[in-house]
Structure 1
């Protein structure tokens, strides 16, 4: 029966529906819902619960909420961490939302309540018995409700309450439950419940039929399985076989799950059969197990899909590395060809350069750009051929070589495989590992690479090989012949500054827990660190010094409560101490017998002063400054040339009999070698003997012959940058080195004058000043 309208706070429910007589916990977190709870607690602890039409709606409007709900009494209220409230409610009776009196700060609804009292008629009694009978059958079929619950439900005598209790135990959709809740009339409610129960029974009967059909189909398999298990148990009791049968079955299952090549599958099957036949407690069974594990773990057919988007690859390479244009260009060419054809074999790139120029990290970037797996194997100190090709299985503790181990780690047959420090390999009585690498890196052979342990040929032709080395002359020639060599000479000072600003400083600032506002570097500061505190071709020491500055700044920020630490070229020494290196400066004044040469070192170019002094004596030539054999020969050749041209140069003809000549290169603790200082030493000798000073704004490099020809030398880019750094204006260099000028940065090239020479006479004409 209905009553008069009554105002009551409304709590919308998501994905749940509460029937009368139902006791349930609800977690309430929405602001409006919490407001409705608080309002109910202030008054009579009663609230109306109505379900949302869509559980995903976070802020339901009145039209999103069903109009029939349940008036409930709040039994218990508990506030949880995070602002959520857990409330225990008990459903009392149905109610209809007639209209919404208030919408904010929570929903206040005017409701019409229904007490559910209905007279018992024969029809209602019949429907009640039908519902109870169907519910009992449903419980037996579904087996989701314990028998005690069934007894407690059946004991209820009131038809309306019985209907609601049964409905609350059924796993129905919200829409179906709402249909039962909407039925205010008990008779109508019972009819709807019987319909729903009948439908659920049909579904359960259908499920039962499907299960019977599946069970029949599985009977044969199950029968065979049980017979096998009985056979195993009998054999175990007789001591014939043990758990090896199960182990062999497991290996067979693993083999079925993989697409193994025919040759490999035959080998695996053969080894599994050997394992089955082997008597218990035989040591070789462990060897077979390890071998099978390796064979089944290798990526025989698994491949990753290459990302062949050239623009994305170029962007990633530029993000990770500054400069290194040749390497980037080669990778992009490879990707372009892969986009046109799938048949191309993976290239073998050999990156040669001093430490710290980014060879290893470049290989990682290649893998990231192509979305391939990355594997790194260091070959430094490897002197055993078995490290590359694996040990034979007859040896105790035998394992595959590092190449096969790397392929297992990668999990695909086309990773980017980095062979690091290939120039550090050596050989002894155990074989030559570099010879074993020939098969790995030869595109004509590596599609059937044979590892002594695996014994089955493995295809390495899809691998993109990247090899790194510090120097090229330590790599065996046959191995070098199979690789595409890209030389990374090192970074110029300008490139180092950009690398520091773009990569090193942000990385170190982040690693030391700082922000860009807390520590400020200027470009001049980085230049001073590079010039005075590091001497290297790469950027490792530069990164260490930046990390040192970050540590000092972090201490000042924590200890002295500073908000910002500015590091300038003027206060740099307070952080890093006195400069560790100095660069040779160009001579300020014109001097006789002093010439400026250019030298290449492993840490970049440098300026080299050559001093020559003459004194009375017997024609003795003295060389000092820890010169190598090649440099001493260059000095002898230069001296012989000057002696042969004495008359043309205005030198006394018999000077070599009564004049001692001393050639000295300062910084005698540093070994110096190479032919590059040939023309420099000859110019200094000519200056000392003629008395004509050498121009102080000129520097030179080139090899000299006895006839005075000037031969080309290496390291032009590094030498030119060193000259530019110390203020040289003119550079004398061999004409044949003109091709190397393309590598020199444009801004440096514009500020220098280049004199290209073929003969020593041209050098003397350009370098010697008038008296």
Structure 2
């Protein structure tokens, strides 16, 4: 008897509720049965004719379903095979026959029995055009679904293409497509074949769209996972290799530590990415590679620079002023400039660090001023000596392509001090040199330019570093050798040499107490009288500063310590009478003014690196042919001044009452004593001219007059420098009248008041005025 006849004979069938599973007609599948009522229904079906009704539960989680928990539409199926499994479960193989709708539940206990209304046999005649078109669309869409899902065997598609019955086509495809249980139920409930195809077509399109999105997501995630897995695998390999080589401290740990440090310093995005790339390169290079050491050295430098660290400025002006006063005597301009900077910092937080240039002779305390400024500002101090530096790489560093490359001394010092706003002293900037290795002075232009140094780039670092908050202080003995472009970037503060009284005060307040402490003495062990200190200043030192003065005091302290230890004495007093015992015979003496007025001898004033001095210019006319002889190791400038003076004298023969033929029948010899000492500079013109005029006229020059100034061919007197040092030298020599160019009146503010009281200052603008005050008798003047 065939299956169709069996179905017509039986309307009442046992029912098995299915959890998350939908069975379609013409579908063969197996599933496990474990619930008691389902097993009873299955056994009843096997006792009868093996026919059973399969319907899905509305909620798969329901363990004991009732009639309301089961869909009305299901599938009449035939049990093909049963297999008992361990644990009282049964695996059953069924074949779907036809759709059916539950008309009523006959019983629920001990198993479900339902009365089923069956679907009539589907029409197997040729489908119409619309149905044929829909079938082709469904098949094409199913093919796309297979390509997108990549989970269905191609053989299934071949089977599908051979089905010509619309309803069976929809059922077969639905059975092989992954749909939600409610979607499959909707297809099952579509009794009309055309409607069934339309529902399936809609579901297929939705699923394809979802699969394409899912594929994109999977591809993206897979790439990320593959990258992570690859990196993990490579790192594990690297660890294993390093372990085999005995390198327990692997590169990976080092790289991770570098990246932690990089996050802490909070660089800009661009710099962060650049440094991170360098760090990542460590993983790609073998440990034995020479470049690995270069990269590691570079990263260490970058990560240890003070990108964000800075000290807080001391804003207490009174305390800062007290510190400056405590450390240094005088230097009012420097102290005032620092206090001005601090006052501005209180109102403006964005104030850039000033670029100060302290210019003065050796030993006046330029370097120690930098330390005092740092202490007053509560900043760290760093010093860099530029004397003899002739390689540009000293400033900007070497490029990393060179073997042994290191950063320049600017960046090295910033790392050493570990703060971005220190007081940075560039010592001896006037002694920079240059050769084939570059010009370091030009390299300093960017460092010392407030508009450029906010992104100073070292050749080794290759990343900009902000120097705008650094207070740069430079020192120099003279401005003449500093390149003009570099000098233009600095604020020049001149520190003149100390006067005798200033040296005495410094010795009493600073040098003597310091040396007594350094030599292990107590204040009660040594006393040096004021007169003895003054003799040390005048007779044992010749300098603008106090460096040698400190050495002489230290010399005394050493001898006193020796006496204290050997002779067990507790008190030593130094005075002028026993000073020779400790320091020996006086080493220097200052040339004093002559005791009488002399012809052909004029006293000039000169500036030297150790302070001012007086020079005697001697002139002797002799019979000859008009030659001009210059001796005393004169420089080119002084030789030109002498010739200019002679030319001026020849133009004033009548007024000066000089032999009109002296230039042809007399040789003039100009000599400056101490010929072993080079002499040069534009300040002796009027002195040489006065001495020549005195020798030609026979009129003596006043013994108590000294002068300084340059002369022109027309007799005008030009301004000079070093006024303070020259005037102090005149005072030491016993001069009572000093002739200065009228343009140097502005320099009188630097002269101490006690010196002004003892010396008469005469400001001259023409040679006639010089002669009026310098000669013993007045010469003829037609003006």
Q: Which category of TM-score, normalised to the shorter sequence, fits these structures?
A: 0.5 to 0.7
1:663 counterpart SS class: strand
Q: How many residues were matched structurally? A: 544
2:716 paired residue among 670, 685, 709: 709
2:527 paired residue among 505, 510, 520: 520
Q: 1:271 to 1:624 in 2, by over 3 A?
A: closer
Could you tell me which residue of structure 2 aligns to residue 459 of structure 1?
A: 466
How far is 1:283 from its partner?
A: 2.7
Distance 1:737 1:235 in 2: 78
How far is 1:713 from its partner?
A: 1.2
Distance 1:656 1:231 in 2: 98
Asked if 1:664 is matched to 2:659, the reply is no
Asked if 1:236 is matched to 2:239, the reply is yes
Could you tell me which residue of structure 1 aligns to residue 370 of structure 2?
A: 363
How far is 1:384 from its partner?
A: 1.8
Asked if 1:262 is matched to 2:269, the reply is yes
1:263 counterpart SS class: helix
2:588 counterpart SS class: coil
2:667 counterpart SS class: strand
Could you tell me which residue of structure 2 aligns to residue 20 of structure 1?
A: none
Q: Is the 8 A contact 1:261 1:300 kept in 2?
A: no
Could you tell me which residue of structure 2 aligns to residue 571 of structure 1?
A: 578
Distance 2:353 2:446 in 1: 14
How far is 1:633 from its partner?
A: 1.9
Q: 1:239 to 1:665 in 2, by over 3 A?
A: closer
Distance 2:252 2:338 in 1: 51
How far is 1:644 from its partner?
A: 2.4
Deviations 1:463-484 (A, max 9, x none): 1111112221221111111111
Gaps of 5+ in 2: 1-230, 779-783
Asked if 1:274 is matched to 2:281, the reply is yes
How far is 1:550 from its partner?
A: 0.6
1:328 counterpart SS class: helix
Q: 1:300 to 1:263 in 2, by over 3 A?
A: farther
Superposition pairs of residues 468-479 of structure 1, within 5 angstroms: 468-479=475-486
Superposition pairs of residues 692-731 of structure 1, within 5 angstroms: 692-731=699-738
Distance 2:736 2:567 in 1: 47
The structure with the largest alpha-carbon Rg is 2
How far is 1:542 from its partner?
A: 0.9
Q: Is the 8 A contact 1:263 1:456 kept in 2?
A: no
Asked if 1:750 is matched to 2:743, the reply is no
1:688 paired residue among 684, 695, 700: 695
Asked if 1:301 is matched to 2:308, the reply is yes
Could you tell me which residue of structure 1 aligns to residue 431 of structure 2?
A: 424
2:252 counterpart SS class: helix
2:339 paired residue among 329, 332, 354: 332
1:675 counterpart SS class: coil
Distance 2:626 2:438 in 1: 54
Gaps of 5+ in 1: 1-227
Q: 1:608 to 1:234 in 2, by over 3 A?
A: closer
How far is 1:408 from its partner?
A: 0.6
How far is 1:442 from its partner?
A: 1.2
Could you tell me which residue of structure 2 aligns to residue 612 of structure 1?
A: 619
Asked if 1:737 is matched to 2:740, the reply is no
Could you tell me which residue of structure 1 aligns to residue 686 of structure 2?
A: 679
Distance 1:626 1:240 in 2: 77
Q: 1:430 to 1:231 in 2, by over 3 A?
A: closer
How far is 1:583 from its partner?
A: 0.5
Q: 1:524 to 1:436 in 2, by over 3 A?
A: same
Q: 1:235 to 1:595 in 2, by over 3 A?
A: closer
Q: Is the 8 A contact 1:378 1:419 kept in 2?
A: yes
How far is 1:615 from its partner?
A: 3.3
Distance 2:287 2:649 in 1: 89
Distance 1:235 1:545 in 2: 68
Distance 2:459 2:234 in 1: 39
Could you tell me which residue of structure 2 aligns to residue 653 of structure 1?
A: 660
1:598 counterpart SS class: strand
Distance 1:637 1:545 in 2: 44
Q: 1:618 to 1:392 in 2, by over 3 A?
A: closer
Distance 1:668 1:452 in 2: 49
Q: 1:651 to 1:263 in 2, by over 3 A?
A: same
How far is 1:409 from its partner?
A: 0.9
Deviations 1:183-225 (A, max 9, x none): xxxxxxxxxxxxxxxxxxxxxxxxxxxxxxxxxxxxxxxxxxx
| TM-score of the aligned structures, taking structure 1 as reference length | 0.68
1:554 counterpart SS class: helix
**RMSD, aligned α-carbons:** 2.1
Could you tell me which residue of structure 2 aligns to residue 630 of structure 1?
A: 637
1:465 counterpart SS class: strand
Distance 2:663 2:239 in 1: 103
